[in-house]
Amino acid sequence: MTLLAIETSCDETSAAVVRDGKVLASTVSSQIKLHAEYGGVVPELAAREHLRNLIPVAHAALAEAGIQANQLDAVAATQGPGLPNALLVGFKAAQAVAFALGKPFVGINHHEAHLYSPWISGEPPAADFSKFQPNISLIVSGGHTMIVLVQSELNHRVLGGTIDDAAGECFDKTGKLMGLAYPAGPEIDRLAEQGNPAAFDFPRPLLHDAGDDFSFSGLKTSVRYFIRDHPEMLDDAQKIRDLCASVQAAIVEVLVKKTIRAAKRNGVRCVTASGGVTCNRALRHELARACEREGFTLRLADKALCTDNAVMIGILAERKFLSQVPLLSLDEEIKPGWVLT
């Protein structure tokens, strides 16, 4: 089957065409520059930008795939969670395309799509990933930080999440305190390469808590007070690199240790990670080291599929379609607060 997928839950307008588990086309138009001026995503601007970009992005995906719209067998879109007006643009447009073509429509949970994104490319191909289940999956993005037990295909249970800020939010907000542009995560990653992660000792929130929940707001506050008390640091490029490395080390240690602990407790053999923060080099490196030490197979989403994209929406939609999950009626609405359970 050939499926068109649309993702507009936050600040990326994305379309993809997938066929039988393979990606025929993927287009992403990022709004990062637009929102950088405001230090974070402005929901109303995001929705307007999706309206402007969606049709060209979808046309480009169809052209890249070399198909006409009437060759599609189904259409999918992110139904939630996400910014309401941003979701509305992609979801309603995708429903309209499905209606016009007389084809089925699939609404997808954005986090569930992140959950399956490590299996989209690489070996073994997605069709074989059931061999690695059950697994523990870390989803770590700008809006969420979750540990999920994936028992079998389309059957998973969220074990823990953040009780305040997400890890990506912590990167972005501490970076803002250092004067870095939004989103600061990639810049902290880059600067930390030449910094000393042991230069400053920041808290590792909930690290020793037995549960699977996270908390990052205390770490952010601690960085805020540290910078308030040592403002001269921000005039010293090496000190900023050390600060980046130290903040990153605190976030990464919590993410890695809690993920590994959950994997051990649940007796799984495989760990996966996805979501924008999974682009972070220190996180990828430390997860790889810990999994090797503990004998877990590690499967990280490709960097291009870590941040928001329609490919993951399409691949999951196709699997849902083939698993006979009931399809949505065309008058179904978006679910901005759709929580993965």
Cβ-based neighbours of 123, under 8 Å, separated by 6 or more: none
Closest CB 58 distance from Zn ion, rounded Å? 19
The site partner of 107 among ligand KG4, Zn ion, none (C-beta below 5 to 8 Å per kind) is: none
CB atoms within 10 A of CB 119: 27
On the 0-12 / 13-18 / 19+ scale of CB atoms within 10 A, 295 is exposed
* Cβ density class 160-189: b for 16+ within 10 Å, e for less: bbbeebbbbbbbbbbbbbbebebbbbbbbb
Residue 279 makes contact with ligand KG4 by CB under 6 A = yes
Residue 246 makes contact with ligand KG4 by CB under 6 A = no
Residue 141 makes contact with Zn ion by CB under 5 A = yes
Interface with ligand KG4 (CB under 6 A), residue from 275, 291, 317, 334: 275
Residue 10 makes contact with ligand KG4 by CB under 6 A = yes
Closest CB 58 distance from ligand KG4, rounded Å? 20
Give 137's strand partners: 148, 272
Closest CB 67 distance from ligand KG4, rounded Å? 27
Place of tokens 């429903």: 95
Per-residue x/- marks for ligand KG4, 104-143, CB under 6 A?
-------------------------------------xxx
Residue 274 makes contact with Zn ion by CB under 5 A = no
Place of tokens 């037990």: 149
Residue 259 makes contact with ligand KG4 by CB under 6 A = no
For 37, the 3-state DSSP assignment is coil
Closest CB 267 distance from Zn ion, rounded Å? 28
Cβ atoms of 319 and 116 closer than 8 Å: yes
Number of residues that bind ligand KG4 (CB under 6 A): 18
Closest CB 152 distance from ligand KG4, rounded Å? 25
Q: What string of DSSP letters covers 256-280?
A: HHHHHHHHHHTT-SEEEEESGGGG-
CB atoms within 10 A of CB 96: 13
Q: What order of strands is seen across the sheet that includes strand 270-274?
A: 155-161, 145-152, 135-140, 270-274, 297-300
Residue 168 makes contact with ligand KG4 by CB under 6 A = yes
Kind of pairing, strands 74-80 and 2-7?
A: parallel
Interface with ligand KG4 (CB under 6 A), residue from 97, 307, 312, 315: 307
Residue 195 makes contact with ligand KG4 by CB under 6 A = no
Residue 185 makes contact with ligand KG4 by CB under 6 A = yes
The site partner of 49 among Zn ion, ligand KG4, none (C-beta below 5 to 8 Å per kind) is: none
Per-residue x/- marks for Zn ion, 280-319, CB under 5 A?
----------------------------x-----------
Q: End-to-end CA distance of the chain: give it in Å, rounded.
A: 29
* Footprint on this chain of ligand KG4 (rule: CB under 6 A): 10, 141-143, 168, 171-172, 183, 185-186, 189, 275-277, 279-280, 307-308
* Footprint on this chain of Zn ion (rule: CB under 5 A): 141, 308
